[in-house]
Amino acid sequence: MAYWLLKSEPDVFGWKDLLALGTAGEEWHGIRNYAARNNMRAMVVGDRGFFYHSNIGKQIVGIVEVSRTSEPDRTTDDPRWDCVRVRAVTGFARRVTLDDCKRLPGLENMVLTHNSRLSVQPVTPEEWRIICGQGGVVL
DNA sequence: GCCAACGTTGGC
DNA sequence: GCCAACGTTGGC
């Protein structure tokens, strides 16, 4: 299983919005960046991802699961762009901030801390373990 | 609200 | 294929 990090501005679509959709989840549409799209194309059903609130909060707030693999993004006519479907799995007992990620040992190379613009990012198993521990998530 | 970083576009 | 111009993102 691979691990990812998905960003969203919480005033547009936040963790509570995803939670409200339950097991149906949400299509992760609107991605218009090749690197982010390629990361989505690499996802398989069952992969897990962190849900990150950008701009407001700047923190990881929960865990999502990929529930459907990449398919064309119906919100555009441009055939280049895809989306996956994700659903909420569990919220963090303690949210893990961007500052935490910059500070914690073992996260020095995390994409989040040095390519802040990439909206769908890979996360290594070690990074996943550290952040889940920090977030109070029992693996 | 500003601006640096980054990606994309399009003229050549 | 290069690169200047432009647009967007997101931290500050």
Closest alpha carbon to C1' of C9, residue: A117
Chain C: nucleotides below 7 Å from protein CB are 8-12
pLDDT of residue A32: 92
pLDDT of residue A139: 78
- The count of structural domains within chain A is 1
pLDDT of residue A2: 96
Range of the domain at A60: 3-135
Single pTM value for the model = 0.94
The span from the CA of A115 to the CA of A139, in Å, is 27
Distance from residue A2's CA to nucleotide C1's C1', rounded to whole Å: 36
The residue among A92, A130, A94 whose CA lies nearest residue A112 is A130
First and final CA of chain A: distance in angstroms?
14
Q: Under the phi-then-psi rule, with left for phi > 0, alpha for psi from -120 to 50, and beta for the rest, what region is A107?
A: alpha
CATH number of A95's domain: 3.10.590.10
Token representation of residue A25: 């989840």
The mean pLDDT value of chain A amounts to: 95
**Got the DSSP string for A35-87?**
HHHHHHHT--TT-EEEEEETTTT-EEEEEEEEEEEEEE-TT-S-TT-EEEEEE
Mean pLDDT by 10-residue block, N- to C-terminus, for chain A (139 residues)?
Answer: 96 96 95 94 97 96 97 89 96 96 94 92 97 93
